[in-house]
């Protein structure tokens, strides 16, 4: 039997989006509604997978060490609420430095996750705050939920976990 998953963009979905890049660990703030939404999804049996573009790495605005520290902090804080991320994928490229297949809307990172974790895309969702997040999911038949940056999306998580989510509300 295949797994179901919710893919999540990071900036503006899990943590506060402040400008184009979060370059310092001190500026990384988890949004207040995130734990509740993720707990609902986790309890409903969804794998939780982060898919994030981190073009600031290609531009050398911050280091992979700083990025790893942010991701560890996010994982540790949400684990206290009972949330476990199955995986965190990031694209370290930026178009000004050359093209790649892993930068959203490219779907390579989602494809890797689908294969690695035996995920059924038709039972899965992608929550993102940019159209490129939704396009990434749609490329592999994952349903998209487009939110505003920093929006409280926990109602969608509740609907997904209860099986009552009926489709995209904004596209």
- Which positions are catalytic? 9, 11
Q: Is the link from the previous residue into 105 a cis peptide, with omega within 30 of 0?
A: yes
**Distance from first CA to last CA of the chain, Å, rounded?**
31
Burial 107-140 (b: 16+ CB within 10 A, else e): bbbbbebbeeeebebeebbbbbbbeebbbbbbbb
Angle in degrees, CA 40, 53, 156, rounded to 5: 25
Q: Judge whether 57 and 64 are in contact, CB under 8 Å.
A: yes
User: Would you tell me the crossing angle of helices 34-43 and 154-162 to the nearest 10 degrees?
Assistant: 10
Q: Judge whether 15 and 35 are in contact, CB under 8 Å.
A: no
């Amino acid at each position: 039997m295949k797994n179901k998953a919710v893919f999540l963009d990071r900036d503006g979905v899990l943590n506060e989006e402040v400008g184009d890049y979060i370059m310092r660990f001190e500026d990384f703030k988890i949004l207040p509604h995130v734990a509740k939404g993720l707990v609902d999804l986790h309890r409903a049996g969804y794998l939780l997978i982060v898919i994030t573009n981190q073009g600031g790495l290609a531009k050398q605005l911050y280091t992979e060490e700083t990025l790893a520290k942010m991701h560890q902090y996010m994982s540790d804080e949400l684990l206290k609420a009972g949330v476990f991320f199955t995986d965190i994928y990031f694209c370290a490229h930026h178009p000004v430095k050359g093209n790649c297949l892993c930068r959203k809307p490219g779907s390579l990172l989602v494809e890797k996750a689908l294969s690695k974790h035996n995920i059924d895309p038709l039972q899965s969702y992608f929550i993102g705050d940019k159209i490129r997040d939704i396009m990434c999911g749609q490329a592999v038949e994952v349903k998209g939920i487009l939110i505003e940056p920093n929006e409280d999306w926990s109602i969608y998580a509740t609907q997904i976990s209860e099986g009552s989510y009926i489709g995209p509300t904004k596209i």
